[in-house]
Amino acid sequence: MPDRDRSPAVVRLGVNVDHVATIRQARQASYPDPVAAAAIAEMAGADQITVHIRLDRRHIQERDLEVLVRTVQTRLNVEMAVQEEMLLLAERIHPHTITLVPERPEEVTTEGGLDLLAEGAAHAVRAAVTRLLAGGMQVSLFIDPDVAQVRAAGDAGVHMIELNTAAYAEASDDADRARELERIDAACAVADSLDMYIAAGHGLHYHNVCALADLDWIAEFNIGHAIIARAVFSGLEQAVRDMVDLLR
């Protein structure tokens, strides 16, 4: 597991390159290549490359994972659903980290965290965690910033979580945003008491990430859409450097 030092100087940035693959798949072309994007992101200061391989393969493909696991120089974090097909893929590809996430076929993007309080889901997640850990991979769970969910993640056997920041990112006003920050802070405090490595992501961009970084709990931010969107105008290397500068 990465070092848990919470000093702002060591906050890590995971760059999600899914949206590069989205552009490629829109034309069923061979470019732009998310593998090339990952290399540029690493050269610009990214500490991790994050991808989400979905059951419908709408963006990242198995070929991407096969090449990324051989070429990423930092860490490769693969997000995937708790499904047998995905678990077999994880065991074959064997990235540094697997982040288990909920997934619905009709969603545009991930809509919430895993519900570890639902009996059936909790059992499936625990079984997946045990299996992946036995395979030598680090396992993180993408959950909402809820104290009960954090405790349930601990019960599932993980020492890493990624907090879903969508509600914070989508808050309609300062009061709502402050309430969501309080929820995140409380969830982080419990995770820290359980000696968990804390990551965060979803909906984060250049204008809202600093308030989360200032909480001093979160060791890693996984950000994709905002970075790729800025890269359209500034180039990917500069877009990554801009985010690294904000976090450090």
Is 79 noted as a catalytic residue in this protein? yes
Is 111 noted as a catalytic residue in this protein? no
- Tell me, rounded to whole angstroms, the distance of Cα 22 from its chain centroid: 17
The active-site residue, picked from 42, 79, 103, 162, is 79
**Token pair in block for residue 27:** 């034309």
- Cα–Cα distance for residue pair 8/53, rounded to 1 Å: 30
- Cα–Cα distance for residue pair 60/57, rounded to 1 Å: 6
- Cα–Cα distance for residue pair 25/236, rounded to 1 Å: 19
- Cα–Cα distance for residue pair 122/128, rounded to 1 Å: 10
The active-site residue, picked from 42, 103, 202, 220, is 202
- Indicate the DSSP class of residue 10: G
The single-letter code of the amino acid at 84 is E
Give the H/E segment covering residue 143.
Answer: strand 138-143
- Cα–Cα distance for residue pair 137/140, rounded to 1 Å: 10
The active-site residue, picked from 19, 52, 59, 180, is 52
- Cα–Cα distance for residue pair 90/80, rounded to 1 Å: 9
Known catalytic residues are: 52, 79, 202
